[in-house]
Chains A and B, each alone.
Chain A
Amino acid sequence: MHAVTPSVSQVIFGLSPLLISVAVFLFTYAIIITEKINRSIVALLGAGLMIFTGVLQQSEAFAGIDFNTLGLLTGMMVMVAITQKSGIFQYVAIIAAKKVKAEPWGLLVMLSIVTAVFSALLDNVTTVLLIAPVALLITDALRINPYPFLFSIIFASNIGGTATLIGDPPNIMIGSAVKLTFNDFLFNLAPIAAVVFALTMIPIYFIWGRKLYAAPEDREQVMAFDEREAITDVRLLKKSLAVLFLVIVGFVFAHAIHQEPGTIAMFGGALLLLLNAIGKNSEEQAHETHKVFSEVEWITIFFFVGLFVVVAGIEKAGVMDILAHKLIELTGGDFAATALTILWVSAVASALVDNIPFVATMIPVIQNLAPVFGAENLAPLWWSLALGACLGGNGSLVGASANLVVAGFAERAGQPIRFLPFMLMAFPLMLASIAVASLYLYLRYL
């Protein structure tokens, strides 16, 4: 979040800006949690109320919107929308399946690794949109229950997303607000994400993995899949991979070249749109470009826009300062206790509500801890927030959008993932991953 230039609020009827902003904030969040009205609509209305009630001026509201986050998300979505047409994701999934001779447990591990790696480099929803249908197809051909595969894909996507700056929206927001680089995330979060991933596979093996069996004839059927046939457009594939590679290199050197990830991602998106448009007449170009833009998840983008403004409202009214003081009171000003509190509270909160609004609220709270601990010492608190928010998404079916996408697929495949049975398995597994993360934070930073 950008610092909002302080100005005196002219709140309607001379009411307290603190009171009004908190009321708007709580009202907005309450309606988001009920999920009765699309969250982007609620966030935009909340943002409007912050301005109409006089808590924020329009210019302050705009200053609160983190365009770097929006640029990064939009740019990545544009690139993925083009790249996925090439069939590359099916290709990788089939190769992975054949590498383990379509043996079910090996397959589950491979598909989970593929999901985790893609989730680290792309957004989680896109990754599971691409991997889950292939997983369903392969389990169908093997005539085995897809449930353990879908369960593992959910966990892999959230754990993989934890590993990098671009893997999960909370990381994008944190990185953007605090100027942490792609490499910072990679060095500090990727190692623990890898450990958590490996450890998560152990209970999955004992619960499902060891009982998975596929008949040799059915495995033959999967071994007969021809991954080269999955590539539908070789030229597009080459263009896409070249641009994605450049963008990742750009992220790695973003700090050195003094550019924000949002600029790099948007430029990459524009470059790939250009390569996709070359050689087509203006009508085809308009059609293609329109199609790509229509695949950008505008609900998420506008949700962010609204939330940033709502959070800017309570931030300006001084709520974050108060919350930061409460947090310090609670932990007695002890740094380690503060970091672990942030980790566990973020994890439980993110399992139950959308982690995006939670992180949007927590960022200014942690920024307000700078006077207590020193701005240069806050890094472990950011890692606590990122680990809690990302891994916490595994705790329930509503913990992350990717979980709901997988559940949607499962429903259509006749193997519905129900809320309570999922949570019974997933919540303890998530808590275990947070325990591991606590140990990591404690040993490395605290």
Chain B
Amino acid sequence: MSIKSLPIMRAATTITPQASVAEALQIMLANRVNHVPICDGEHYLGLISVNDILRKLLPAGVQMPHGVPDLKFAGDASRLLGSHFRHLREQKATEILNHTPPLEDSCPLLEAALLLSKSPTPLPVVDSTGKLLGMLSRRGLLEYLLGEAGK
């Protein structure tokens, strides 16, 4: 049994590689999701999440290993955040996409549960050619298990 045969995936809204970060953010806010897959046609390229956007707004000096450990001393620095945001929203979403490895639709259920438990976002599901089939979320998986347990 693999995730392909189970009714647990849901269709995903996707964006094209040409979309800007601002467009990606607007789509996430409108759809009340925290991530959106980027697809070239039907081919999965990667995910962009609200967390990727937030992290990019922080100064480079804190994002790196051995960087500044906390920023309490820096105050609000709203000019810095504002200037980073203006710069970031014009960038292409593909420039900050994260290469979350997708699940193959042949992945067994237990392995999918393990990978989901370690992932900060839902996981994209692709077929063997890399075509995006949908998204698998913790909620979707648990909903399915709840329904099964009630039978």
Could you tell me which A residues sit within 8 Å of B by CB distance?
87, 90, 94, 129, 132-137, 140-141, 143, 217-218, 221, 224-230, 232, 408-409, 412-414
Contacts and interface: CB of A to CB of B under 8 A. Distances in A.
A85 to B, nearest CB: 8
B74 A409 contact: no
Interface in B67-84: 67-75, 77, 79-80, 83
A136 B60 CA distance: 7
A414 B79 contact: no
Given A87-B69, A221-B75, 9 more contacts: A133-B61, A133-B66, A137-B59, A217-B79, A221-B80, A225-B73, A226-B75, A230-B72, A412-B64
A263 B67 CA distance: 32
Contacts of A412: 60, 63-64
Given A90-B68, A143-B83, A224 B75 contact: yes
A225 B68 contact: no
A409 B68 CA distance: 12
A217 to B, nearest CB: 6
Contacts of B68: 90, 133-134, 137
Contacts of B72: 226, 229-230
B62 interface: yes
B15 to A, nearest CB: 23
B60 A232 contact: no
B74 A225 contact: yes
Nearest to A91: B73
Nearest to B63: A412
Contact of A137 (B66, B74, B79, B83): B74
Interface in B21-70: 59-64, 66-70
Contact of A141 (B59, B63, B70): B59
Given A136-B60, A412-B60, A141 B67 contact: no
Contacts of A221: 75, 77, 79-80
Contacts of B61: 132-137, 140, 413
Nearest to B84: A140
A150 B145 CA distance: 54
A61 B66 CA distance: 36
A141 B58 CA distance: 11
Residue of B60, B66, B69, B80 ringed by the most chain A CB atoms within 10 A: B60
Contacts of B59: 136-137, 140-141
Closest 9 CB pairs of A and B: A137-B61, A413-B60, A229-B73, A136-B61, A133-B61, A230-B73, A140-B59, A229-B72, A133-B67
B59 to A, nearest CB: 4
A90 B61 CA distance: 12
Contacts of A225: 73-75
A414 B73 contact: no
Contact of A414 (B60, B66, B71): B60
Given A141-B77, A143-B83, A218-B79, A232 B62 contact: no
B75 A133 contact: no
B73 A227 contact: yes
Contact of B70 (A94, A132, A232): A232
Given A133-B61, A133-B67, A141 B80 contact: yes
Contacts of A129: 66
A90 B79 contact: no
A140 B60 contact: yes
A133 B70 contact: no
Contacts of A227: 73
B73 A133 contact: no
Contacts of A229: 72-73
B73 A90 contact: yes
Contacts of A133: 61-62, 64, 66-68
A106 to B, nearest CB: 20
Contacts of B63: 412
Contact of B62 (A94, A135, A137): A137
A412 B62 CA distance: 10
B96 to A, nearest CB: 12
A94 B70 CA distance: 14
B142 to A, nearest CB: 35
27 contacts: A87-B69, A94-B73, A133-B64, A133-B66, A134-B68, A135-B61, A136-B59, A136-B61, A137-B71, A141-B74, A141-B79, A141-B80, A143-B83, A221-B75, A224-B75, A225-B73, A225-B74, A226-B73, A226-B75, A230-B72, A232-B69, A409-B60, A412-B60, A412-B63, A412-B64, A413-B61, A413-B64
A54 to B, nearest CB: 44
Nearest to A230: B73
Contacts of B64: 133, 408-409, 412-413
Contacts of B62: 133, 137
Nearest to B60: A413
Residue of A135, A140, A221, A230 ringed by the most chain B CB atoms within 10 A: A140
A116 B68 CA distance: 20
Residue of A87, A137, A218, A412 ringed by the most chain B CB atoms within 10 A: A137
Nearest to A129: B66
Contacts of A226: 72-73, 75
Contacts of B77: 141, 221, 224
